Amino acid sequence: EALLRARSVELSDQVLTYGEELALTNRHLAATISQLQEAKSALIEMEAHTRLVTEMTPAHIGHVDSDGLYTFTNRRLSALLPGRDNDIVGVSFEQALGQKTAAHLRPHLDRAARGKPALLEFTDPVSGRRIRTAFTPDKRAPGSVYILSTDVTEEAQARTALEQTHKREMAAQLTSGLAHDFANLLTIILGLQARLEKMPLPDGAHELTGATRMAVRRGGLLLDKIANMTGTREVRPTPVVMQDFLANISPLAQAALPETTTLSIQSDFAHRALMLDAGSLQDGLLNLILNARDGIGTSPGEIKVSFRDVKGTWLEIAVEDTGCGFSDAALTNALNPFFTTKGDAGSGLGLTMVYDLVKLAGGTMGLSNTDTGARVILRLPLRPALAEARPRLILLVDDIADIRAQVRDLLTDLGHQVIEAASAEEAEALADLPGLDWILSDIRLGPVDGVDLLRSIAGRQPSLNLALMTSLPTADPLHVAGAQLWPVLPKPVDAGALHHLLTAEISQ
C-alpha cells in the first residue's frame, strides 16, 4: 500500500507537469493560428488589391497552363477584343480568343511554353484593332505562359501616317529634279512644234503636229499630278456632320454617271459628327465612284457606297460595283503609281492618290472582287467629334477688312460667334466684354503690335484664351516673341488650323 501510494503521488505530479506543458503548447498553437489568420487576411486583401490593379490596367493579362487552359485573367479581354468573354478561367486558349485569332497566336504561345519569350503585333480580324502581345514563360511552372496584350491601334495609325509622310518626302526628292528637267523638255518641244506649224507643211502634217501638242499637254497634266501626289500634304481633320457630307456627295457623283448606272449610299453608325478631312475624303470617294463607273461601262449597273462603324475603332467605307471587277494584275499592282488598265485614257495615279490620302490619315485600303464586280474598302480611324459645347465668343482683331471677313467666315462656319475690331484701341475697349472666350489678333496692327496688345489684355484678363496670326516669317523678332507666349497661326488662316486651336482649348 505504501508503495502504491508513493507511485500514485509520483504519477499525479507527472500528470500535472504534462497538463501544464499541454496548456502551454495550446497557447502557442492558438497564437500561431491567430497569426495564420492575420496572414490569410493580409493575403486576401493583397490579392484583392492586386486584382483591382490588374483589372484597372488598360491591357489584358492572362496565364495559360501547360494544358492550354487559362488559370488567371484580369477580366479585360472584352475591352481589348470586343465580342470575347471576360470570364475565361478554365477555358482553353482557342475557345477564349476564337479559332482564327488563336491559330495565328498559337505558334508564339508554343514557343514561350518551351521557354523562349515571344512578342508580336497582329490585327484582330473581328474588330480591326491592332494588338501587341507579349508571351513570357512562367519559370515556376514549366509549360505555362504569362500573356500581356495591349491595344496599339492609335500608335499603329500614327506610325502608318508617319511612314507615308517619309515616303512622300523621298518621292518628292527623287521626282522634283526629273520633273523640272522633263518640264523644260516639254517646253522646248512645244516651242519647236509652234515654229514647225508656221512652216509650209505637206498634207496631214498639221494633224500630226496637233497630236504632238496634245501629247505634250497631257505630259504637263501628268507632271501636275505627280507634283500633287509627292508634294507636301497635311491631313487636317475637322468636325464633319456626316448627314451633310453624304448629302453633298450624292449630287456630285450623280452628275458624272450615265442614266443607266444607279448610285446608292448607305450609312450605319451612331455618331452625328466625325473628325475627318472632308475635302480629301470627298476627292477620294469621287475617284473611286468614277473608277466603278468605268468598270461598268455602257451596260446598266449599280454602284453601292456604304459607311459603317467597325467596333468603335474604324470608319469603314466600301465602294462596290456590278462591273467587270479587277484583273489579277490590277489586284496586285493597282495601288502602284502609273499602273493603269485604261490605256491612254488613264494616268495610273487615281487609286495611288486615294491610297496616299488614306495612309496619311493612318488608315488602310484594300481591293477585292465580289460575285458581281469589284470592291474597294477604305478604313479610316473612327474619331467622333468632340461634344459641341456652347459656341465660343471670339474677338477678332485685324486692321485689314478683307482678312477680317475671311477669318470671320471661317469661325462662323465652325459655329462660333465673332466680334470684330479694326485696331488695337478698339480691341482694348472690347476685351472686357462679359462672356468673351478668345482673342485672335494679327501681329501687325500699326503703332501697337499684336504682341503688346495681348500682353496688355492678359494683365487684366488672365482667364482669356489668346492667340496671334501673322504672315511674318518664323525668324522675325515679333513672331518669335509672340510664339513664346501664345499660339501663332500662319496666314492665310484655314478652318483646320482654327478648329485645332479652339478644340485644344476645349480639351484642356
Supply the DSSP string of 376-436, one letter for each residue. Answer: EEEEEE--BPPPP-SPPEEEEE-S-HHHHHHHHHHHHHTT-EEEEESSHHHHHHHTT-TT-
Is 0.85 topped by the overall pTM?
Answer: no
- Percent of the chain clearing pLDDT 70 (strictly above): 83
Residues 251 and 376 in one domain: yes
- Give the pLDDT mean for 242-267: 84
Cell numbers for 77, please give them: 479581354
30 located within any domain = no
Residues 335 and 413 in one domain: no
Cα angle 86-90-91, degrees, rounded to a multiple of 5: 65
CA distance 59 to 76: 7
Q: In the structure, what pLDDT confidence band is assigned to residue 504 with cuts at 50, 70 and 90? A: low
Residues 216 and 178 in one domain: yes
- Give the pLDDT mean for 36-48: 82
CATH number of the domain that residue 108 is part of: 3.30.450.20
Is 50 exceeded by the pLDDT of residue 249? yes
Cis peptide before 251 (omega within 30 of 0): no
Residues 298 and 331 in one domain: yes
Distances (CA, A) of 241 to 64, 110, 244, 388: 46, 48, 6, 12
The pLDDT value recorded for residue 255 is 79
Query: 213 lies in which domain range?
Result: 156-230
The pLDDT value recorded for residue 90 is 92
Is 60 exceeded by the pLDDT of residue 387? no
The pLDDT value recorded for residue 299 is 86
3-state secondary structure 336-348: CCCCCCCHHHCCC
What lies within 8 Å, CB to CB, of 457 at 6+ separation is 427, 428, 431, 439, 464, 466
Cell numbers for 313, please give them: 475603332
Cell numbers for 437, please give them: 472666350
Which residue do the cell numbers 484594300 mark?
A: 366
- Give the pLDDT mean for 249-253: 82
Cell numbers for 240, please give them: 464633319
Q: Where among 381, 411, 437 does a domain terminate?
A: 381
Tell me the pLDDT of the chain averaged across its residues: 81
Comparing 218 with 431, the larger pLDDT belongs to 431
The pLDDT value recorded for residue 185 is 66
Q: How many other C-beta atoms can be found within 10 angstroms of the C-beta atom of residue 167?
A: 14
3-state secondary structure of 322: coil
Is 60 exceeded by the pLDDT of residue 197? yes
CA distance 287 to 253: 9
Instruction: Express each pLDDT in 431-466 by its tens digit.
Output: 888 888 899 999 988 788 899 999 999 888 888 889
18 located within any domain = no
- Give the pLDDT mean for 187-193: 70
38 located within any domain = no
3-state secondary structure of 33: helix
Residues 399 and 493 in one domain: yes
Q: Where among 206, 230, 254 does a domain terminate?
A: 230
473 located within any domain = yes
22 located within any domain = no
21 located within any domain = no
The pLDDT value recorded for residue 508 is 37
Least confident of 222-231, 235-244, 303-312, 364-373: 222-231
CATH number of the domain that residue 351 is part of: 3.30.565.10
Largest CA distance in the chain: 164
213 located within any domain = yes
Residues 296 and 427 in one domain: no
270 located within any domain = yes
Q: Where among 151, 177, 208 does a domain terminate?
A: 151
Structural domains of the chain, count:
4
The pLDDT value recorded for residue 133 is 93
Comparing 424 with 233, the larger pLDDT belongs to 424
Residues written for the chain: 508
CATH number of the domain that residue 469 is part of: 3.40.50.2300
